[in-house]
Chain A
């Protein structure tokens, strides 16, 4: 199913769509206020972009530097070529511990690898501890946003879910009381947790440590109470130096939610004596993306979600319409690298307005990459026949002044007597589903111009010597 068809489902509830649109725009406005308060914000974006470019240009070296430093800290480092290997490594660690109680803080990578269903198949239940993630886990849904996983839900939906799973009063929809119920429920899970899985926001090559940013404190609480910490990271999470965090911590939360910084910016470097820390370094298509010059900049992403909050298509189609772990503009340039056929419609889920590129804290040229993926998809014959042939037809038509002029003449006449049901037929004119065609003019600009009196040619002015 294409993005457009899934978006149709989302759009069935007009009030909710409007709410979703306005709520995310509100987050974008908060981002703007936070950004404008930092005079050097644009310089920081440029620095972040350069640091990430540099890191990718020496990625193999930094990966080894990180590994050596982490091992020197007593951390177990694992390498996973793909999602299956990532999942198998984690299962093996859990089994080695004989653990059954697993808590997990937010990690888009484990979502990408479908870790939870895999572990469930092997008899191990994982409790997602981020509030938004726990809500959607109860509902057996995927996150619809990388920072605000339950942004597609209203508080009444959460109330119903908690009534069902946590026994809160029926009809309870007060966010304060619902959050308190989740706090009590999850506290028991934290206290009992044996293995804690976390994502990684930044991995510092120099120190071998990983940095995890949360507002709720769920990563810290889970990791620091469990016997074993497993941190899962894509290879692109690396940064060279500890001081580079100065740049990224100033950009991340401001870009994401408009906060000056996340509540907890936690640096996990060594396990406590007697406990274990593991880092799983995952490729899963990333080195392939690194080899695509047009698209490798997508690996600079720090997962702030600013491109989603600002995107006019994301805001009005919802995260689930992308059917990919990372939705929105950045997801639309990451997903075709994973499965071009399945995600072929995503680079078209954009107006190419460029707002995503404008807000990206690491200056990824997102809308340019969306355009380039369209070319790749066209070449690979992964676009629908109707789009392919109409584009070919329009290309021919617009390339010839004579054909263009004749078509214009024809259309101006034909549109006067063709029935509305034909010109606006949804089956072949998706553009007109919610729009009216303009009134056809009597003549084209060219025809009008030719009727105007010819201007008298002026003699050339004599050149004045300098």
Chain B
């Protein structure tokens, strides 16, 4: 467990967090390499199914980064993302994975240091929680077939 390095997916809004990540890089700020960034056109693109899929595919933690409240480029995307994240947190609690493995944060494109801080803070949280129970049981759903209606 001491060597546990969590795999964390960060869904980042293009207009804030993705730019903040760029800024963090330009500022040469250090943050954990556990974070895998996925760019989104807006945090409002957050899809419940995709969040669940991230956990099913082995993520130990997932967070969504959206613009500061009231500053969404598309007006309400970050509020909608927050509601979906809250719903999935409850589902994760029900499943036994734990809602604390999913979080929503708000920041602006100018907040490079905050981006790095969130990455450190969340990585530390997941490190303390340990590997996702889905992964711990070592039975990832290789056989799950998804058939389209023809």
Q: Is A bound to B?
A: no
Q: B-side interface residues toward A, CB under 8 Å?
A: none
